Amino acid sequence: MPAPRLIPEFAPQSGVMLTWPHAASDWRDSLAQVEPLYTQLARAIIRHEQVLIVCYDAQHILHVKQQLVDSQVTLSRIRLVAVPTNDTWVRDYGPLAVHDGQSLSLINFMFDGWGGKFTAALDNAVSAVLDAAGVFQSHGLQQQSLVLEGGAIDTDGCGTLLATTRCLLDAGRNPGMDKKALEKSLQECLGIERVLWLDHGFIQGDDTDGHVDMLARFCSPHDIAYTRCRDACDEHHAALLSMEQQLQTFTDSGGTAYRLHALPLPAPVYSGAGTRLPASYANFLIINNAILLPAYDDPADEEARRVLARCFPGRDIVAVNCLPLIAQHGSLHCASLQLAEGILGPVAEYVQP
């Protein structure tokens, strides 16, 4: 039997997991701006698959349900669960799925608030609470001591991982681990045979130490979409050019150069305090038969849509205005987590914790 291998995001899905913003998080003063984005997101996803929404408590479930009903979002493909959280960035603390050709398993890595930057004890416990309550259909949730966020890695489904050196080797996450030790751990728990290390590239305002989902993403085992900056005066230009040049040296598992698809960098978006926010089209979400594109009310939104349409022929490209989301330094992919086919059963069989 082959070793379990991390399932790629472009594989068939049973649903998408979201954590709804709440008053006990940093969203407390901007719920009116961000909640309509979440209703739009839920509406777009349920056209193709289920949505699992993590709510803070039972009262919050009632609030979220009312938000959805008021926005005329059908509830028949939505599951609302009560689990307290620190924040909404479920990509980084939700479970990752592996498959060995016969059975499906979930991996729960440690989440420490991006190297201890933020309080994260509640977020770190979410996957275990959901699994204990029977929310997931799998052959068990495997706990790992390795600190690893879902937004920090991307796979082609064939044993190759794409990641940034700066993030994965950050001393605040797994002190003392070098590339060799980390690669061994990734091979053992995710079936990774090789890691493509990106040594360059950043997005200003991203406080994750360089998550790859802001920079470069697998669209297939042979295609990578990545962020390019054309403006030589922009602070990102040199680093993203170096990243592009490094991507051009990478080959797929068969030794063939990847087909590279350049996504534009949106015009700078700033917070009220004048700091640049992390707007990136690479932070798109893949769902069954569609791609959800983070949009920023920018002329480049349309160019990004055309690029992703070429990367994902036959899939609808659906724009979601993510200006409210980047105000808290993340975007669409950061706020969502795909759940592979087989993880969620029919809604009627769901038991709420």
Catalytic residues: 334
- Provide the β-strand partners of residue 107: 96, 142
Structure-token match 């899905």, residue found: 13
CB neighbours (10 Å) of residue 317?
17
What span, in angstroms and rounded, lies between the C-alpha atoms of 92 and 159? 21
Phi, psi angle pair for 187, to nearest 5°: -70, -40
Nearest to 160 by CA among 246, 256, 252: 252
Could you give the 3-state DSSP secondary structure of residue 174? coil
Q: Within the chain, what is the greatest distance between any pair of CA atoms? A: 55
Question: Counting Cβ atoms within 10 Å, is residue 277 exposed (0-12), middle (13-18) or buried (19+)?
Answer: buried
For residue 10, give both structure tokens. 């472009």
Classify 46 as helix, strand or coil.
helix
Tokens describing residue 158:
């064939």
Task: Name the 3-class secondary structure at 139.
Answer: coil
DSSP letter for 102, please: S
Query: What is the C-alpha separation between 35 and 259, in angstroms, rounded?
Result: 37
Could you tell me where the beta strands, DSSP code E, fall in 111-230?
141-147, 153-155, 160-164, 194-198, 216-220, 223-228
Q: How many helices (H) and strands (E) does the chain have?
A: 9, 17
- Tally Cβ neighbours within 10 Å of residue 32: 8
Beta bridge partners of 33: none
| Contact criterion met (CB below 8 Å) for 46 and 12 | no
